[in-house]
Structure 1
Amino acid sequence: MTEGRPTMKDVAAVAGVALKTVSRVVNGEPGVRTATAERVRRAVEQLGFRPNDSARLLRQGRRTCSIGLIVEDVSDPFYSTLNRAVEEVARAHGALLLTGSSAQDPERERELATAFCARRADGLIIVPTAADHGYLAPEMAAGTAVVAVDRPVPGLAADTVLSDNRGGSRAGVEHLLRQGHRRVGYLGDSPGIFTAVERLAGYQEAMAAAGCEVRPSWVSMARPDAVGIRLALDRMLAGRWPVTALMCGNNRTSVAVLRELGARGGSPALVGFDDFELADLLAVPVTVVAQDAVRLGRTAAELLFRRIGGEVGQPQRISLATRLVVRGSGEM
């Protein structure tokens, strides 16, 4: 027997038959006598042979029954929930889900996408990080379906499933304004991210509609690390015109802000974009703008499988509503 994983040649040797006979039995093809087929099956079981379905399907020109999902960080509760929703739809279609995290690194995203395509995944669902996704155009031309989720794909005509980021952020700020706040600070993610830009725009629209100024010191757009959050809050909460309320642009920012405020002992009113675990169990439960990560993942996956199944037409752009969940932290 050859070293490593058993092959069809090994099965043929043990069963005492031709390689073609093993291939016919393994692939369920007719033309093999019952006794011979049984001998092949015993050899398969004895050796622990497993057919290479991917290679077989490629030789036959058929799909590989697998799809790829690239998110920013699979450990983030939002993306892990989205991942699970995609996985459930893939399972219902008899497909395997391959998942990777881009870590907001365009090169890593490209490596993952090309690796999935090299393994002939039937389609990709991607949370875009790169500024240009033209590298996927040849894959789409070759028949790989692509759906963007959470953010659009720059430079590519692809189906897109989004949350109403601008409207959700606007609703969160309007809630703070209704409580009487006029000095509202905003802490968002990196300004190069589509969702961060849209949520900042929602904040600005709500403040402008209420006739409230937005001072430069009241806005911070950066990745949510502890030092950056501390410095941003130093600016917002100090001086002659400190903010009395905060709008946080995502769940990681909300958690970092709450941790810093806890250390300071301060408690301005706060609304966060994205729900997060235990937000409803804190001493002051956190009011949030909730996205439906399950619906986002399911909608993107169902759209992808329709494309894989042959649905044609212009790329779709689907926007899903958000929901304001009032719990108490925005009313202080």
Structure 2
Amino acid sequence: MTTDDAGERTDVRAWGDGRRLTLADVAAAAGVSIKTASRALGGEPNVADATRGRVRAAAATLGFTMNSAASQLRRGTAVRTVGLVVGDLANPFYMGLATGVEHALREHGLQLTMASSDEDAAAERAIVEDLVHRRADGILLVSTLDDHAELRSVGDRGVPLVLVDRAPSGLDADAVVIDNVAGTTAAIAGFVARGHRRIAFVGDLERLPPQRERHAAYAAALAASGLPIDAALVVRGAHSAATAEAAVRDLLALDEPPTAVFTANNRVTIGAIAAFRDVAHPPALVGFDHFELADALGISTVGADTADLGREAVDALLRRREGEHAPATRAVPATLVPRGSGERPPR
């Protein structure tokens, strides 16, 4: 997609059914791609005269008109922005992601706009719609939706979309995710190799794709080691550090407490650390997601470089803007970093 494409996405008019008229409608009527329609209406070279005439005729018939954002971009007077929508601005994971995104965008003359959905689907929809309406040059989305089919309209209106950290469902879209399966498997295999047999799983909201993947990998790793899954050792839905702390305290109070605990994200790990505060001999602990104080606290973690995740997401977005390649999902490796807590033997 060219720079001008970002401003030529949709007219304020609507069809009779109330649906907003889009550049995709013009492209379909003219029998060309969205990219070709954008170039034809934007007066760009390398478009055949016959094709340009057909696109303009379709636009005139439908009542589609150019918007001012396109001419502003051509004159260099508009700020070119990419929206990053995350689940929680207070979570350090997303701050690391944003750092990688911002540095990568800066290299291409793009600026970052960031917003949080607070893991609320309605909020996410409103933010995405606003970014499309404001002609963002692209959207990087950590989506809270279970089904992403409704996001198809974002691309139809000419805005490149890349899903980050959570793979697409019901939508062919570019995505950059963490290799949750390999990371979780490595953590559980490490526990088993040290003789642990009662290994607990404490996770965030069950509906979040990374949490589902990490739990499935935990169960598969136990099965591969010949260990049963004890439902009493599985906690899901610990969405805050405080909730996770309470959950881990409950695990420690069991008649047969776990000798090892796997926490499925950084917030849950912080809760586990708090729960271990007054425990003389705490269980082994490995948490998913690296965090800033892990070295100082001696907490073993498995995870990806979040800044690298951000850079990969920008690279995917730029490739989507420049061409019409088939959507692809890129998995960033998750690395296990032993710092002491995960290497404790069972007692």
TM-score (norm 1): 0.78
The answer to whether the aligner puts 1:319 opposite 2:331 as a matched pair is yes
Aligned mates of 1:104, 1:66 — CA distance in 2: 23
Partner of 2:295: 280
The answer to whether the aligner puts 1:126 opposite 2:126 as a matched pair is no
Residue 100 of structure 2 aligns to a residue whose secondary structure is helix
The answer to whether the aligner puts 1:297 opposite 2:307 as a matched pair is no
The answer to whether the aligner puts 1:91 opposite 2:106 as a matched pair is yes
1:136-285 aligned within 5 A: 136-225=151-240, 228-282=243-297, 285=298
Residue 330 of structure 1 aligns to a residue whose secondary structure is helix
Partner of 2:52: none
The answer to whether the aligner puts 1:306 opposite 2:308 as a matched pair is no
Please give the per-residue CA displacement for 1:26-73, whole angstroms capped at 9, x wherever unaligned: xxxxxxxxxxxxxxxxxxxxxxxxxxxxx8543467586211110111
Once the two structures are TM-superposed, the CA of residue 138 in structure 1 deviates from its matched residue by: 2.1
**Structure 1's 188 and 247: CA in aligned 2 closer, same or farther, altered over 3 A?**
same
Once the two structures are TM-superposed, the CA of residue 93 in structure 1 deviates from its matched residue by: 1.0
Aligned mates of 1:231, 1:84 — CA distance in 2: 32
Aligned mates of 1:239, 1:259 — CA distance in 2: 18
Give the superposed CA RMSD. 1.9
**Structure 1's 258 and 157: CA in aligned 2 closer, same or farther, altered over 3 A?**
same
**Structure 1's 121 and 154: CA in aligned 2 closer, same or farther, altered over 3 A?**
same
Is residue 245–residue 268 contact of structure 2 (8 Å, CA) maintained in 1? Answer: no
Number of aligned positions between the proteins: 275
Aligned mates of 1:100, 1:163 — CA distance in 2: 21
Once the two structures are TM-superposed, the CA of residue 96 in structure 1 deviates from its matched residue by: 1.6
Is residue 147–residue 303 contact of structure 1 (8 Å, CA) maintained in 2? Answer: yes
Deviates more, 1:292-301 or 1:129-138: 129-138
The answer to whether the aligner puts 1:105 opposite 2:120 as a matched pair is yes
Please give the per-residue CA displacement for 1:207-236, whole angstroms capped at 9, x wherever unaligned: 111111121110001133355334433442
Residue 341 of structure 2 aligns to a residue whose secondary structure is coil
TM-score (norm 2): 0.75
Deviates more, 1:149-158 or 1:202-211: 149-158
Aligned mates of 1:273, 1:302 — CA distance in 2: 25
Q: Give ranges in structure 1 of 5+ residues lacking alignment.
A: 1-54
Q: Give ranges in structure 2 of 5+ residues lacking alignment.
A: 1-66
